[in-house]
Chains A and B, each alone.
Chain A
């Protein structure tokens, strides 16, 4: 069956360090992968989209990689700040119908 897995445990890091979040998938052949941020009581906010023919994408302190051989995407936040504390969701395009399927999310906590 199709599955998307993100770190189920919360990630706690020190301010200034690089946070790395993982998204693994099975039985998908996604053409696109998206990352979203969600704060408590708010809807998800789009961060980055990466295509299958792109190995890496950057936006300010954010970097996403997409390895279709390993079936994995890594999401990095460099020089992390307490304001980066949130839940981060990855989302893949389903093989059927093109709809987005979301992972469960990883909660990131950046301590000052």
Chain B
């Protein structure tokens, strides 16, 4: 079975550029999560969707961050404009149900570097 697929795996771009991260969840999962991981702050939830609807975006750091889930098999996380402090590993995860009482399945992340 294919797991959660994220692209790109690595992204290096200059400050001020728009960055788009992509995620394909596991087929049949109805919850999707975007996380950010840094050494200082660990793994933080940015936003999660249930049945393609954003449920909680309280972790989105600023208006520069936006996320969409146009259908059950695709989601994007966009940063515009990007800043060096956005450098981190961004993970997408999916699960059945709401995710807190079910395992979350993570992709291998996008390592983002903003110069």
Point out residues on A near B: beta carbons under 8 Å.
Answer: 31-32, 34, 41-46, 49, 51, 89, 93, 97-105
Contacts and interface: CB of A to CB of B under 8 A. Distances in A.
A100 B108 contact: no
B42 A98 contact: no
B106 A45 contact: yes
A89 B105 CA distance: 14
Nearest to B6: A43
A101 B91 contact: no
B67 interface: no
Q: Which of A44, A51, A100, A103 has most chain B Cβ within 10 Å? A: A100
Contacts of B42: 102-105
Contacts of A104: 42
B16 to A, nearest CB: 28
Contacts of A32: 100-101
Interface residues of B, number: 23
Contacts of B106: 43-45
A101 B44 CA distance: 7
Contact of B108 (A31, A42, A98, A102): A42
A104 B4 CA distance: 23
A25 to B, nearest CB: 14
A97 B93 contact: no
B54 to A, nearest CB: 12
A43 B108 contact: yes
A100 B107 contact: no
B94 to A, nearest CB: 11
